[in-house]
Structure 1
Amino acid sequence: MEIYQHFREEERPFIDQVLSLQSNVEMRYQRKETDFLDPREQYIFSSLMGSHPNLQWALFGGGNQAERKRAIVAPEYETIDDQDFSVCLLQTHYHDKFIHLEHRDVLGSFMSLGIKREKLGDLVVQDGLVQIVVADEVSDYIRMNFTSIKKANVQFEEKPLEELIESKEEWKTSDSTISSLRLDVLLKEVYGVSRKKASMFIEAGHVKVNFRTVENPSYPLEEGDLLSVRGKGRSRLMNVHGTTKKEKFKVTVAKLN
């Protein structure tokens, strides 16, 4: 099918899900809501939906700056508002003077509770506060069963989405010229390591592209790809501006401070 040519091979299952969703809504005239989608999945979803003549669609993740969002697809005669999305905000406090918690600690606790990542939206951990946007269908389960993170006793309670705080994360952007869009080449540039070291990180399974582990150093990157290296943080290939006369790529990259 021609549509697959515009995306990566490993993205076919998700493409099929979106196409099936379109067909289902068209045939049954009933709206459908997805789990939370990461930014790459949102890009694919939006590309496939486009200006579909028979359908309405929208994305929402709880706030204006949301990274992870749910999608709703509905018949063309319906309207979709933010309040239509099955998302809620849960919040808890912990004593940050005595316990240091990071994003990965909290997320790991959710995973150990058997909650799938697809049911969880954005997560903020700062100043003794944990906030997470979750799918409505798992909210009660979390509030009843999620009682500790590391050595911190916690009790989540639901809050209005308007109380969602913005993360203090800061991204620093820079312009670079690189020899290719290979994963190992960009890691070398962004994280200041040798290409050999970058390849070792990748082959050891310590690198993710768009939240999926990639173990191939020559993996080709595309504009908008989000990278994460274990212990070294996240970065993003923001823009590919074309090539120089020497056929090198002019790019803008961002790194999370």
Structure 2
Amino acid sequence: MEKDDLFKKRMTELSKKAYFRGILTFSDFLDLNEQNMLQSLSMKDTGVTVKLWGGYETAERQMAAFVPDAFCCKEDYPLACLRIEPLNRKFSDKLTHRDYLGAILNLGIDRSKIGDILMEEDSACVFCHTSLCEFLKEEICRIRHTSVKAEQITEITDFPVPKREEVSGTVASARLDSIIALAFKTSRSSVIPFIEGGKVFVNGKSVVSNGYTIKDGDIISVRGKGKFQFGSVTNKTKKDRYHVILYRYC
């Protein structure tokens, strides 16, 4: 059985377990491709609703909650958030997203147990499965040449949200390839392989058409490049081009 088929089978099993036992069931963290596959499964007549959450509104990696229709309590997702920061900022390396993720995975942790990693000025906030929280607090003590400490953010209301920067410019139209090229300051031809290769997601759904029209508020994720939200078309120029505003996640 192929990997995708195994994944779909697992999601179906979680759905059935939620329905027949009348309990909440949860997946591990799902990437965009897995979320897309989950949305393609027909759950309409199963007596179960699927809800996604990754710790904040626009999280890329999210857990799926399978909620029986008769269930009336709030979904309590089994995720936690840790802030990892240097013990001595003065002598710390400039750590990247890859550095933090690599240090965590080198502990033998499966990627599906780790959600988004949000970079801050000299630290990072890591979403993880609650079962790993204490382990990570004890074991994450050094990243590259930098001694670090990990502390849990205990209140959900204190969970971090990603920073965004405004990007504006003109495009011939609000086509997917044109907007991505503007967002990452590159050419349309260079982004086509990402789109045709299934690496572009709009609002969590895979889009493989270069000419797909972006709408106000759409969130576009490009694997290997980043994520941004399309703002709006502000006006049309004298050269029949469109001035647009978007917000790229830092």
Which TM-score tier does this pair reach, normalised by the shorter chain?
A: 0.5 to 0.7
The normalised TM-score by structure 2 is: 0.66
**Alignment CA distance shift 1:255-1:102 (3 Å):** same
Report the Cα distance in structure 1 between the residues aligned to 2:58 and 2:104, rounded to whole angstroms. Answer: 22
Report the Cα distance in structure 2 between the residues aligned to 1:44 and 1:253, rounded to whole angstroms. Answer: 27
AA aligned to 1:34 is: S
Aligned to 2:156: 162
How many residues are paired up?
226
Question: Residue by residue, what CA displacement relative to the aligned partner does 1:4-58 show, whole Å, maximum 9, x if unpaired?
Answer: xxxxxx9665444433432343345443210112355445535646655612443
Aligned to 2:205: none
Q: CA RMSD in A?
A: 4.3
AA aligned to 2:15 is: Q
Are the aligned partners of 1:53 and 1:76 in contact in 2 as well (CA < 8 Å)?
no
**Alignment CA distance shift 1:18-1:168 (3 Å):** closer
Aligned to 1:60: 53
**Structure 2: stretches of 5+ with no match in the other structure:** 202-207, 234-243
Are the aligned partners of 1:36 and 1:118 in contact in 2 as well (CA < 8 Å)?
yes
Question: Residue by residue, what CA displacement relative to the aligned partner does 1:75-100 show, whole Å, maximum 9, x if unpaired?
Answer: 32223424x22112222321334322
Report the Cα distance in structure 1 between the residues aligned to 2:179 and 2:9, rounded to whole angstroms. Answer: 30
**Alignment CA distance shift 1:195-1:209 (3 Å):** closer
**Alignment CA distance shift 1:151-1:187 (3 Å):** same
Q: Which of 15, 21, 25 is residue 22 of structure 1 equivalent to?
A: 15
Structure 1 residues 1-257: aligned runs within 5 Å: 14-39=7-32, 41-42=34-35, 44-46=37-39, 48=41, 52=45, 54-82=47-75, 84-94=76-86, 95-99=88-92, 100-162=94-156, 164-167=158-161, 169-172=163-166, 176-177=171-172, 188=181, 190-194=183-187, 208-209=199-200, 220=209, 225-229=220-224, 233-236=225-228, 238=230, 255-256=248-249
Matched position secondary structure for 1:36? strand
- The alpha carbon displacement at 1:238 in A equals 5.0
**Alignment CA distance shift 1:73-1:128 (3 Å):** same
Are the aligned partners of 1:89 and 1:164 in contact in 2 as well (CA < 8 Å)?
no
Report the Cα distance in structure 2 between the residues aligned to 1:43 and 1:253, rounded to whole angstroms. Answer: 24
Aligned to 1:245: none
Matched position secondary structure for 1:155? strand
**Alignment CA distance shift 1:36-1:171 (3 Å):** farther
AA aligned to 1:85 is: Y
**Alignment CA distance shift 1:254-1:64 (3 Å):** closer
- The alpha carbon displacement at 1:101 in A equals 1.9
Are the aligned partners of 1:187 and 1:198 in contact in 2 as well (CA < 8 Å)?
yes
Are the aligned partners of 1:61 and 1:69 in contact in 2 as well (CA < 8 Å)?
yes
- The alpha carbon displacement at 1:227 in A equals 0.8
Report the Cα distance in structure 1 between the residues aligned to 2:78 and 2:12, rounded to whole angstroms. Answer: 22
Are the aligned partners of 2:81 and 2:159 in contact in 1 as well (CA < 8 Å)?
no
**Alignment CA distance shift 1:152-1:52 (3 Å):** farther
**Structure 1: stretches of 5+ with no match in the other structure:** 1-9, 211-218, 242-250
The normalised TM-score by structure 1 is: 0.64
* Identity among equivalent pairs (%): 21
Matched position secondary structure for 1:23? helix
